[in-house]
Amino acid sequence: MAVKAKPKAKPKKAVKKIVKKAAPAKKAPAMTCEVCGYRVIVDEACGCVEEHVLLCCNQPMTKS
């Protein structure tokens, strides 16, 4: 009985992955509590003419 040799495997080609550059992060306005350090990031503006005051620890939060 004759033993058959295994066929040689074809070399695989290198696969290039397409890498998309991340969009630059937008600077969202953030408010920080000076007492406890809690931080709020505003995702969407409401469109009001007057500025809203956010309170935390019974004090207004400051823009950071």
Asked if residue 42 belongs to a domain, the reply is yes
Q: In 10 A of CB 36, how many CB atoms?
A: 10
Residues 6+ apart with CB under 8 A from 40: 30, 31, 32, 54, 61
Domain count, the chain: 1
Identify whether 1 is part of a domain. no
The pLDDT of residue 51: 82
Pairing mode, strands 59-60 and 62-63: unpaired
Closest by Cα among 50, 51, 54 to 39:
54
| Residue 61: per-residue pLDDT | 94
Domain residues for the domain of 57 are 30-63
Q: For 13-63, write each residue's pLDDT tens digit.
A: 777 788 777 766 667 788 999 999 999 998 887 888 888 899 999 999 998
Predicted TM-score (pTM) of this structure:
0.51
* Structural domain includes residue 41: yes
Question: In residues, how long is the chain?
Answer: 64
pLDDT, residue 11, reads 72
Report if residue 17 sits inside a domain.
Answer: no
